[in-house]
Amino acid sequence: MEHRNSPESEKKNVSRAAGVVGFYTFLSRILGLVRDMVIASLFGSGMAADAFFVALRIPNLLRRLFAEGSLTIAFIPVFTEYLTTKTKKDAFDVARIVLTLLTLSLVIVTVLGILFSPWIVRIQAFGFGSSGVKYDLTVLLTRITFPYIFFISIVAFFMGVLNSLRHFAAPAAAPIFLNAGIIGAAYFISPRLPDPIVGVAIGVIIGGILQVGLQIPWVIKEGLKLFPRWQPDHPAVKRIGILMLPAILGSAVYQLNSFIGTLLASFLAEGSVSWLYYADRLVQFPLGVFAIAISTAALPSLSTQAAINDLQQFGDILSHALRMIFFITLPATVGLIILGKPIIRVLFERGAFDAISTLMTNRALIFYALGLLAFSGIRVIVAAFYALQDTKTPVKIAVVAFSTNLIFSLLLMGPLKHGGLALALSLASSIQFCLLVFFLKRKVNVVNLRPVLISGLKCAFAAAIMGTGIFYVHSRWLTADSNASLLSMSMDLAGLIGIGVALYFVLTRILGCRELGSLWDTFSPIIRRVKAG
């Protein structure tokens, strides 16, 4: 059995691991924004962009459902238990068996996906019809991008192995290569094709290959042999399978709800799919850099405490993760609502992406931002359930959330159009988060919510004051001139963000928020590496 760290030491380990994940995710999100700026400039929010985003969403949905959404979070607790209670060789034997089964399954899924792309598109974007230029283009792009599910699922598996071994850098850096592949293809392949958007789809596959290539040296270095091992009756495989089945829906309700949003948006005005996509990308920035980083770092630690049955430390780690979520997402929510329009103008408004696209994207962003705390909190709470190897409770709650989102979407898409779809997702996710917290508290009554609530109230107060400050400065400083230069708008926006961050940190320090110190633990190793470099 591994040596037990002290509670404070384990919290610092989680914070530092979250810092590593957050740093590389930040770089990835920056490059992702560059990628979206390139696509927005070249294709705007017209037919080609809608077709590409629908085609990309399908393998992404499968990735989140069957790879990151179920395989990773089902695999890590079992693999960590073998690392903790047995030998490293036993754990690696399990990994090789799972990799063999996964590879065979993915080949079958990929071939079927390519063959059945016309029917998949009809389900995913029913409003596109079953014929015509837009439908045919979407089918073609889906067939090109579908093999991405193979590559990214292998990456997700390697991520589970490396994260369990407390190696977070390579998996977190992988998306950088996807963005690089798409950007490179947009500039070097697209101009040489009759239909330029096809080049962007090819870039998705190039990025997937590069992502796998990045992971292989690290898993080999850790000692994992990549030779197949056929033993499907291994008890660990059965346990992972039992955890995965309900996890496919339970841990990916956000992606399923996004699927519903895309389906319904295809019935609205042209551009609705793209407006929702660009708004979601902006919300994904703080969600990915901080919330997903914290949940990714917390899962191996929570799994270790569950394996040794130390539920008190389990509760302390979970409480720490939730407080960090509140500390980060509350000011991010306020910032996105107040500064959404200038952010979109700076990032996207050029070329085929016009002022109307900015206005429509901002409308979706405001409603998405209202659910940011819930989106983030769900990641952490679901990780806690899976660390306890309980997948039944999240799936029951997911069904409620899924149904709620569908009802809200149908009610709100009429009066609020695409904004109603974004609001429906935020409302459904908020209900899901509250239910998850309630049932986790009933399951393990060691999670002390009082510090989380107190911290949340302090952060909310500081975020409200921060929001008032940047709104005042925004109304008097940031130029609304549509002819202003990109440099001028960027400098104004950077100044406002800097003021907001400084004001929030000062206020939280005055209020005595301990999370400010934890944030230093999160990023101080990165800062020291940068200085040393």
Pick from 289, 287, 295: nearest CA to 25: 289
Position 2 confidence tier, pLDDT thresholds 50, 70, 90: very low
Neighbours of 174 (CB within 10 A): 24
Neighbours of 108 (CB within 10 A): 9
Instruction: Please report the pLDDT score of residue 1 as a whole number.
Output: 41
Most confident of 1-5, 256-260, 314-318: 314-318
Q: Is 193 left (phi over 0), alpha (psi -120 to 50) or beta?
A: beta
Query: Which amino acid, one-letter code, is at 526?
Result: I
Over residues 149-161, mean pLDDT? 88
Instruction: Please report the pLDDT score of residue 469 as a whole number.
Output: 92
Residue 147 predicted with pLDDT over 60: yes
Instruction: Give the integer Cα–Cα distance in Å for 185 and 39.
Output: 11
Instruction: Give the integer Cα–Cα distance in Å for 70 and 342.
Output: 37
Over residues 255-268, mean pLDDT? 76
Instruction: Please report the pLDDT score of residue 419 as a whole number.
Output: 92
| Contacts with 326 (C-beta within 8 Å, 6 or more apart), sequence order | 373, 452, 455, 456, 459, 460, 515
Position 267 confidence tier, pLDDT thresholds 50, 70, 90: confident
Pick from 258, 143, 136, 255: nearest CA to 201: 143
Residue 126 predicted with pLDDT over 90: no
Q: Look at 129 and 271; give whichever has higher pLDDT.
A: 271
Distance of CA 376 to the CA centre of its chain: 9
| Contacts with 339 (C-beta within 8 Å, 6 or more apart), sequence order | 470, 474, 493, 496, 497
Q: Look at 305 and 481; give whichever has higher pLDDT.
A: 305
**Range with lowest mean pLDDT among 26-35, 68-77, 453-462:** 68-77
| Contacts with 63 (C-beta within 8 Å, 6 or more apart), sequence order | 69, 148, 149, 152, 153, 156
The burial of 336, by beta-carbon neighbours within 10 Å (0-12 exposed, 13-18 middle, 19 or more buried), is given as buried
Give Cα separations from 147 to 166, 322, 444, 478 (angstroms). Answer: 29, 36, 41, 45
Position 183 confidence tier, pLDDT thresholds 50, 70, 90: very high
Pick from 277, 279, 353: nearest CA to 44: 353
Helix (H, G, I), strand (E, B) or coil at 252: coil
Q: E strands of 353-455, at which residues?
A: none
Is pTM beyond 0.85? Reply is no
Q: Look at 302 and 127; give whichever has higher pLDDT.
A: 302
Residue 231 predicted with pLDDT over 80: yes
**Range with lowest mean pLDDT among 26-35, 119-128, 217-226:** 119-128
> What are the domain boundaries of the chain?
7-447, 448-518
Residue 533 predicted with pLDDT over 60: no
Over residues 96-124, mean pLDDT? 88
